Structure formats: structure tokens, C-alpha cells
Amino acid sequence: MTKPAVDYSLYLVTDSGLNHASRTLLETVEDSIRGGVTIVQLREKHLDTAAFIDLAHKVHAVTKKYNVPLLINDNIDVALAIDAEGVHVGQDDLSCLEVRALIGPNKILGISAGTPDEAQKALADGADYIGIGTCFSTQTKTDTKRTLGPIGVRQVLEAIPAPQDTHLKTVVIGGIKEDNTKRVVVHSAGANGRILDGIAVVTGIVGAKDAKKASEDLLKEFKAGHTLVSSSSSTGRVAAQQQTHVDAMIHQFPDLLTKLRSESPLTHHISNFVVMNDTANATLALGGSPIMAPCAAEAEDLSKVVSSVVLNIGTLTESWSKPVVFDPVGVGATSLRASATLRILNNMHVDIIKGNAGEISAIAKLIGCEGTESIAMRGVDSVGGFSDPAAVVRAVAKRENCVVAMTGKIDYVSDGVRTVAIENGHRYQGRITGSGCMIASSIASFAAVSPNDHFAAAVAGILALNLAGEHAGTRSDVRGPGTFRAAFIDEIENLEPLQMKSEAKVKSVQLD
């Protein structure tokens, strides 16, 4: 018997205690396989050996019917008794070397791994795959040392060789659900080309009312995440860096602004109290519609009606909605803001990160972008800048698989492949409180009408306010930052769509 080829895409882990009351565990296994489950692990912590063997025989009959491998959790005797395709063990169970000696070379062997060191040891000891976790908190794992989140999962993935250099496969486990699967796959993708080979799910399938549909939905999201990561690294998109493609994008901006003003999309602001009035007024002047609602109790209802979200940590709360635009105000200034930022990046899907040089520098350190310069923070302001700002912005965007916009004398935007510099703007924008927060609101408004291209939305959102700043700065009634503030709001309102094209100073940045 040779070791079977395994598709780890959708990995079911059973739990009789959480199985939906409307069906038997055997029905759950069969329904889930019909919905797309590719491998099954039978995990029964409270059965004696005889009862476990009896159940395992029955489950194995189902999995063999569909040619799906069955693994047994921890119990080697049960696995050998029913001739299961493999075994999964935890860090506190027998070692990989001991298990391999017992089951032989042709059985599948998996081991749980929660740290880079554990992953490297599993590889060295001959495991076929590792189960990385716990990703998020879950009722099936009460003894976990810590939750990893996608960033922690990525650190484990990057500790092992690239997929072409090793046989070791990877799955993630712990709190994996339909609404977070794609995010976990995308945000855990490693710089070494590692993408998760599968997701391991317990409650999301066994506890679902319809196990078949739950499996179909989970597999769809897993594949969507893989597609998104693959497309973001595709060499075919490199051509989009050329200035001709940037010019084509700018050519669409007048229509984008016209659409924004026509649709007036509703943007949910979980915002800095200090500048809430300014960001609301800027959004209204641009043509959007703001709702300033930092209360977590409203988030679920608002999520059904808003078109985009701005999450600003200038004023911290303990509960968060899912953001589109994340504005990590002063993230490098205090440990509280740093921990909040890391929690958000680990637990939420962020489409666009907007920050100044100090904030982007702090995020680069938090997510492990090696070799990034440190930019000091003085309160919420950055002190100094990067020697190669475009490269830093691209590195963070690529690392997080999202769009990153860094504001400053020259603004930079990147999605990890395309990178541009925006040279419009006026110096008074940096002399009034909240100008950066207003840009975040502008980006969110454009993102609402450009749902399929957040890179274009970020560029357009910055450009619109920078043009308004230029126009305000040349007015005869503007004598300093105080008069500029009022004129700035006026000129956001007065911005003509065609000016988004004719006055744009947006240049492609070519990076190696």
C-alpha cells in the first residue's frame, strides 16, 4: 500500500458533542463530503477504545465510499485496528518519530503546530502536514496557550521552506468560519510563497443545520482566498505599474467622482472624537453621506445599510466593526494603540490602510516586515521619513495583501504590485487637525463606488482632497491655517470632476 495523495482543502474534524441534533454523526460526515470535504479526522476524546473502534469502522465505511482519507485523532490503536489512512497527534501526545515507527511509512501523519519551532520540528521528524492553530478562540479548544490570528499563522508558514522545496502541507484550525476563511487565507500568505493548503473546521460544519451547504460555502471561500493571493502575485499584473496604466486609471476619476456624488454612499465612521465634525463635513462636501457611530451595539444593524467603513483608533474602544479603511492614528505612540492595531489586523478584514510615515513604520514592525526603517512618532505625528518610501509602502501592502496609502509631502499608494506617488496637495493640509482623517473618509467614500479596485479608490480619495487643498491654498481670503480650514471644506464641495484628471500629478513608481 502506498501513501494516498491528499487534498487538504477542506478538512473536517468531528466532535460528537457539537454535532447538530437533527442528524447523526455519520450523516454529518456523508453530507459534508458531498459538500466538498476532502479529508476527515475522527476526534473522540471521551470514548473508550472499543466504542471508538466501533464508531471508526462506521465512519470509515462512509469515507471509503467517497475515496476520502480518514485520520484518527491521537489513538494509534484505533487507527491500526480499522486500517485508517492516517493519524493526527498533538504536541502533548507521542512524537512524530514514535508515531511513524508505529504506523509505518505509508500512512498520513499530521501534528499540531502553534509556533515556528514546532513547525520546523514537524518537518524534520517526517510529518506529512501540520495543523496550525489555534487561529481564533473556539469552544473546541479550551487549553490553548494563545490564539495566533492570521499574522501568527503567517509566521509559522514562513518558518518552513517554500512549497516547491518540501513535501510538508499546512492547514489552519481554530474558529474558522465562512465569514473569515478568505481573510485567513489571504492575510496568512507568506513571503516565501506559502499559502495554506487547507482549512480545518469543526463547529462550522458539524454544528451547522445543513452540513452539505456549510461545506460548499467554506470550500468556495477557501478557493476565493487562494485565487486572490495568486492573482496579487501574478506576473501578468506587473504591467499595471507602467505609467500608461496609471494614466488610464486617472482618466476614470471624473466619472468616479460623478458616481460618488450621484449615489451619495453611506459611510460608517468609527472615528476619532477630536476630528469627528471635520471628517463628517468633508464627507458631505465630497458628496458622500457619513454616519458617526462608534457604539459597538449599532454595528450589526449598520453593516446591513452602509457602503463602507472607516475605523480610526484615535479614540479607542474595545469593540470593532469590520472596516474597509483602517486609520491607525498614532499607532507608534503608545503600546495600547500598537496592541489595538495588531488585534484589528489579526481579527478583521482590512481593505485599505491609511497612515503617515510613522504609523506605516510602526505597522511594518508589528507585522514583521524585515529591514524597515523606524520612523519616530511625536504624539500622532511622524518625525522624519523613509529613504525609500515607495518600497516600504509596497512591502506592507504585499505583506498584508491589501492597499496601503501613506500620506506626507508626497503621498504613496500601493497594492503590493502597483505603486504610485501623488504630488498634489498644499502645505496647510499638514497644519490643521484632522486632514489625514479626512483623507481616510474620502478614500472610504470612493471605495464605496469602486468596490472592485480599492487601489484606484485610495488614489482618487487622496487626490480629491489634495486638489481641494491646492485650490484652497491659492484663495485670496486664505491667510493661514485657520482660514484655510474653512476654505478647504468649500473647495472639496467645489471640486469639478474633470479636475480629477486635468490637474492630477500621479506618477507610477517602478520598483525592482
For this structure, is 437 an active site residue?
Answer: yes
Question: Residues 420-455, buried b or exposed e (16+ Cβ, 10 A)?
Answer: bbbebbbebbbebebbbbbbbbbbbbbbbbbeebbb
The set of residues, in sequence order, having a beta carbon less than 8 Å from that of 469 and lying 6+ positions away, is 424, 425, 426, 428, 429, 435, 488, 491
pLDDT tens for the chain, residues 1 to 512: 677 789 999 999 999 999 999 999 999 999 999 999 999 999 988 889 999 999 999 999 999 999 999 999 999 999 999 999 999 999 988 899 999 999 999 999 999 999 999 999 999 999 999 999 999 887 665 544 578 999 999 999 999 999 889 999 999 999 999 989 998 998 899 888 899 999 999 999 999 999 999 999 999 999 999 998 877 655 444 444 457 788 899 999 999 999 999 999 999 988 767 788 899 999 999 999 999 887 767 877 888 888 898 887 755 444 444 546 999 988 888 888 888 888 888 877 789 999 999 899 999 988 888 666 666 555 555 555 678 899 999 999 988 889 999 999 999 999 988 999 999 999 999 999 889 999 999 999 999 999 889 999 999 999 999 999 999 999 999 999 999 999 999 999 999 999 999 999 999 998 76
| Backbone CA torsion sign across 276, 414, 431, 289 | negative
* In 450-496, alpha helices (H): 454-473, 481-494
Give me the catalytic one of 96, 369, 402, 437.
437
The pairing of beta strand 289-292 with beta strand 266-270 = parallel
Contact (CB, 8 A) for 253 and 504: yes
The dihedrals phi and psi of 272, each to the nearest 5 degrees, come to -65, 120
Contact (CB, 8 A) for 172 and 184: yes
pTM of the model: 0.78
User: What is 236-508's CATH number, 3.90.950.20, 1.10.3720.10, 3.30.470.20, 3.40.1190.20?
Assistant: 3.40.1190.20
Domain ranges of the chain: 10-232, 236-508
- Other Cβ atoms less than 10 A from the Cβ of 12: the count is 28
Kindly report the CATH number that applies to the domain delimited by 10-232. Answer: 3.20.20.70
Indicate the SS3 state at residue 266. strand
Fold match between 10-232 and 236-508? no
Contact (CB, 8 A) for 356 and 381: yes
Task: Find where cell 485565487 sits.
Answer: 227
